[in-house]
Amino acid sequence: DTAVSQTPKYLVTQMGNDKSIKCEQNLGHDTMYWYKQDSKKFLKIMFSYNNKELIINETVPNRFSPKSPDKAHLNLHINSLELGDSAVYFCASSRTGSSSEAFFGQGTRLTVV
């Protein structure tokens, strides 16, 4: 059973399009995250939700909008895609608490052409 699953795994799209990435976790965790990994493999947090409420929103363009319909799902919608949005996006989840292990999805490789 996959603990944290993301779809799609690969996404190629044109500039200006709107796309969504879905994430689901079956671990019963109440906190979920989105991270972005750039071309240099640097990982940076974008958003964090706890029990469907946004608790962390790093400096991310407002073209990126996370949505959490329930605590097992955290989707990422991106409007007006730009070339610089090309990256690997990772979803993760954890129990609440700073020492809790984060479980990651397999990543979604987004390529904007």
Partner 1 sequence: AQRVTQPEKLLSVFKGAPVELKCNYSYSGSPELFWYVQYSRQRLQLLLRHISRESIKGFTADLNKGETSFHLKKPFAQEEDSAMYYCALTPQGGKLIFGQGTELSVKP
Kindly tell me which of 76 and 81 has the beta carbon lying closer to partner 1.
76
Q: Is 44 in the site for partner 1 (CB under 8 A)?
A: yes
Q: What binding mask, one character per residue, do residues 64-103 give for partner 1 by CB under 8 A, x or -?
A: --------------------------x-x-x-xxxxxxxx
Contact (Cβ atoms closer than 8 angstroms) between residue 68 and residue 74: yes
Side-chain-side CA neighbours of 93 within 13 Å: the count stands at 25
Kindly tell me which of 3 and 15 has the beta carbon lying closer to partner 1.
3
Burial of 37 (0-12, 13-18, 19+ CB in 10 A): middle
Residues forming contacts to partner 1 in the complex (CB under 8 A) are 4, 31, 33, 35, 40-45, 48, 50, 55-56, 90, 92, 94, 96-107
